[in-house]
Amino acid sequence: MRNIVSSKNLERLDERILVEQLKQGNEAAFKTIVETWQNMVFNTALGIVQNAEDAEDISQEVFVQVYQSISSFKGESKFSTWLYRITVTKSLDHERKKKRKKRFAFVRSIFGEQNEVLVNPPDFHHPGVVLDDKEDAAVLFSAIAELPENQRVAFTLNKVEGLSYQEVSEIMKSTVSSVESLMHRAKNNLKKKLEDHYNSRK
């Protein structure tokens, strides 16, 4: 009887070969890794930082780190899990830096040259979220941006990226029950924020 290799096992096999080749400095392997996972990395970063240019920059940083620290990848988790972790860490670092800068530029960002009040809804369309009404999309992502860090990451990975609770728990290095709890709180917080927003417009 022939051995039947499942597509998931084949995926892991291909990943392992690419990783081993990259560890040996194979540039073609690195190019394949970038081409295979660039959309995933970009979409994840975009879901967290909510700015397309920033997500592009983060994606570049992620792959630079992959190239430089591939030797530290021991294969204990899937390569994509390791990649998600790097992307989430880089995205959150970027957010923290941005918040520090924002403290200094706060007044200028609220008031324009003529002292008019400026409103800046999210300036992107996320490929993982399709909403007919662009205003609804802006409101939703604005609410996601206000979630506590862990809730925001769990919600983005599960609802925007479509990962299972098990996969999210591996990326966040936590338990499935912790992810369930984070998702429950995130949904409640979002529900309240969206209700407050729409009630205020009545």
pLDDT tens digits for range 57-85:
999 999 999 999 999 998 888 999 999 99
153-156: Cβ within 8 A, 24+ apart: 153/48, 153/88, 153/92, 154/179, 154/182, 154/183, 154/186, 155/182, 155/183, 155/186, 155/187, 155/190, 156/44, 156/47, 156/48
**Which CATH number among 3.40.50.1470, 1.10.580.10, 1.10.10.10, 2.40.50.100 corresponds to the domain 125-202?**
1.10.10.10
Tell me the Cα Rg of the chain. Answer: 20
Give dist(CA 39, CA 67) in Å, integer.
Answer: 17
For the chain, domain boundaries: 1-106, 125-202
Global pTM?
A: 0.74
- Which CATH number is associated with domain 1-106? 1.10.1740.10
Three-state secondary structure call for residue 111: strand
Whether 1 shows a pLDDT value over 70: the answer reads no
Write down the mean pLDDT value for the chain.
80
DSSP code of 6?
P
At which residue do the structure tokens 């880089």 appear? 90
73-77: Cβ within 8 A, 24+ apart: 73/19, 75/16, 75/19, 77/170
Give dist(CA 121, CA 180) in Å, integer.
Answer: 29
Better-scored residue on pLDDT, 30 or 132: 30
pLDDT (tens digit per residue) in 137-194 = 677 788 888 899 999 999 999 988 889 999 999 999 999 999 999 999 999 998 888 8
Considering only 43-57, 58-72, 106-120, 121-135, which range has the smallest mean pLDDT?
106-120
Same fold, 1-106 and 125-202: no
